[in-house]
Amino acid sequence: MKIAVLPGDGIGPEIVAQAAKVMEALRKDGLPIELEYAHIGGAGYDAAGDPLPDATLKLAKESDAVLLGAVGGYQYDNLPRPQRPEQGLLRIRKGLGLFANLRPAMVYPELVNASSLKPELVSGLDIMILRELTGDIYFGQPRGIRTLENGERQGFDTMHYSESEIRRVAHVGFQSAMKRGKKLCSVDKANVLDTSMFWREIVTEVAKEYPQIELSHMYVDNAAMQLVRAPKQFDVILTGNIFGDILSDEASMLTGSIGMLPSASLDANNKGLYEPCHGSAPDIAGKDIANPLATILSVAMMMRYTFARVDVAQRIETSVRKVLQQGLRTGDIYEAGMQKIGCAAMGDAVVESL
Ligand code: NAD
């Protein structure tokens, strides 16, 4: 289990250190885990003038899986776009061919009051958002800012999806629905966008290979509404890059804290990059108050998807549950009557519980 560890910026190093404690404990128990560290994001820019140094991409390619903290920080906001931290993320996803981003949104019974929605709407919530990650308007060319004939300046981007890009992510969606509640909702904007009309056509075609799955289609504006009206109607949501970016953040808030949510980005062979859904939280960096559980749960996803060790994944997940049952909370999920602890203490508690 050769794992590239990329702490990144802001709270990245703090939360990754807790996940590393968990992996170290698993290694002591006999798992053949090998960790190697490299820079990404602002840390990559500071170390090598590039948010994705060549050495980092090389290490990631040679590893079985990648664990990433987060990237970004105020001090990098005015750099030219190619040097900005988030370019490191976009490039590593593209460089490793990670086209399928899986984000579970689960509500732990212990945290049902942390959600901004009424407990009865979210209690027992367990949905999976599958976002296509390497296509769409985020990568489409041409893009830029141009001057029109009338002298006015115009910003523009290009949205496109090729048939093969839609097909491969649709297969991942149907296969994950097979392992779950056998329902897949494909989200698009087919009433306005040609790209979405084509997306819907291809997803409907792929569905013929999965007759056990109940397929539905929903416009993205309605999906945004339904996620806060009746989120439990969903099992797997399949969508493109830009819609998935927004909907997965919305879904994360249903669960109460973005600090609890892991994610996996997979290639065609289940090699993956695992990271928390949240960003680098520069507002709380270095204060030992960040919640490391999303990063620790990302290790659980890595065990499940890349290493096919469901037993180890469940062991990590159960340990996290136990820590919550003990009443231990970082500030973001704190409620009266619980015991507030810091980032490092939370990591120690999970290791203890393992
Ligand atoms: P953010 O997710 O970093 O923070 C949003 C809010 O959630 C902040 O108040 C933060 O303190 C809190 N928060 C986030 N993670 C937390 C945790 N583990 N525990 C407790 N609280 C937590 O999003 P943002 O503020 O929009 O962005 C900050 C920086 O992160 C920017 O530079 C942005 O570009 C970058 N970013 C990176 C990623 C990534 O690396 N995948 C994703 C999103 C944003």
Task: Dump pLDDT digits (tens) for 256-298.
Answer: 778 899 999 999 888 999 999 899 999 999 999 999 999 999 9
DSSP-derived pairing of the beta strands 236-239 and 183-188? parallel
Atom of ligand 1 nearest to the CA of 294: 18
Q: For residue 98, what are its two tokens?
A: 């990670």
Cβ neighbour number for residue 146 with a 10 Å cutoff: 11
Ligand 1 center to residue 281 CA distance, Å?
4
Q: Which burial class, exposed, middle or buried, applies to 114 when counting CB atoms under 10 A from its CB (0-12, 13-18, 19+)? A: buried
Q: For residue 138, what are its two tokens?
A: 């985020």
Contacts (Cβ under 8 Å, ≥6 apart) of 133:
93, 98, 99, 100, 101, 241, 244, 265
Mean pLDDT of 54-65: 98
* Most ligand 1 atoms within 8 A of CB, residue of 278, 284, 287, 296 to mutate: 278
Q: Is residue 196 within 8 Å of 202, Cβ to Cβ? A: no
DSSP-derived pairing of the beta strands 339-340 and 328-329? parallel
**Among all residues, which ones are annotated catalytic?**
138, 189, 221, 245, 249
d(CA 99, CA 265): 7
Q: Where are the alpha helices (DSSP H) in the chain?
A: 12-28, 42-48, 54-62, 85-95, 119-122, 163-178, 194-207, 220-229, 241-254, 293-305, 310-325, 343-353
Domain boundaries defined on the chain: 1-115+261-354, 118-133+160-255
Among protein residues, the one with the nearest Cα to ligand 1's atom 32 is 72
Cβ neighbour number for residue 94 with a 10 Å cutoff: 16
Q: Residue 68 pLDDT more than 80? A: yes
d(CA 91, CA 112): 36
Atom of ligand 1 nearest to the CA of 15: 18
Predicted structure pTM score: 0.90
Bridge partner list, 62: none
Ligand 1 center to residue 268 CA distance, Å?
28
Ligand 1 center to residue 205 CA distance, Å?
38
Q: CA triplet 303, 132, 307: central angle to 5 degrees?
A: 15
Among protein residues, the one with the nearest Cα to ligand 1's atom 16 is 259
Give the pLDDT of residue 113. Answer: 85
The pLDDT mean for the chain works out to 95
Domain 1-115+261-354 - what CATH class? alpha beta
Query: Which of these, 324, 278, 316, lies nearest to 72 by C-alpha position?
Result: 278
Exposure string of 38-67, with b = 16+ CB inside 10 Å and e = fewer, is bbbbbbbbeeeebbbbeebbebbeebebbb
Give the pLDDT of residue 88. Answer: 97
Q: Kindly list the protein residues whose Cβ atom lies closer than 6 A to any atom of ligand 1.
A: 11, 15, 70-73, 86, 89, 258-259, 275, 278-284, 290-291, 294, 332
Q: Is residue 210 within 8 Å of 178, Cβ to Cβ? A: yes
Atom of ligand 1 nearest to the CA of 77: 32
Q: Residue 155 pLDDT more than 90? A: yes
Ligand 1 center to residue 228 CA distance, Å?
21
Q: Residue 225 pLDDT more than 80? A: yes
Give the pLDDT of residue 228. Answer: 95
Q: Residue 216 pLDDT more than 80? A: yes
Q: Which residue has the tokens 């496109």?
A: 160
Task: Dump pLDDT digits (tens) for 288-339.
Answer: 999 999 999 999 999 999 999 999 999 999 999 999 999 999 999 998 899 9
**18-27, 118-127, 312-321: which range is least confident on average?**
118-127
DSSP class of residue 66 equals E
Atom of ligand 1 nearest to the CA of 11: 18
Ligand 1 center to residue 279 CA distance, Å?
3
DSSP class of residue 192 equals T
Atom of ligand 1 nearest to the CA of 282: 28
Q: Is residue 324 within 8 Å of 354, Cβ to Cβ? A: no
Q: Selecting from 3.40.50.2300, 3.60.9.10, 3.40.50.300, 2.60.40.1120, what CATH number does the domain 118-133+160-255 have? A: 3.40.50.2300
Mean pLDDT of 211-219: 98
Task: Dump pLDDT digits (tens) for 231-262.
Answer: 999 999 999 999 999 999 898 888 877 889 99
Ligand 1 center to residue 347 CA distance, Å?
19
3-state secondary structure 100-161: EEEEEEECCHHHHHHCCCCHHHHCCCEEEEEEECCCHHHCCCCCEEEECCCCCEEEECCCCC
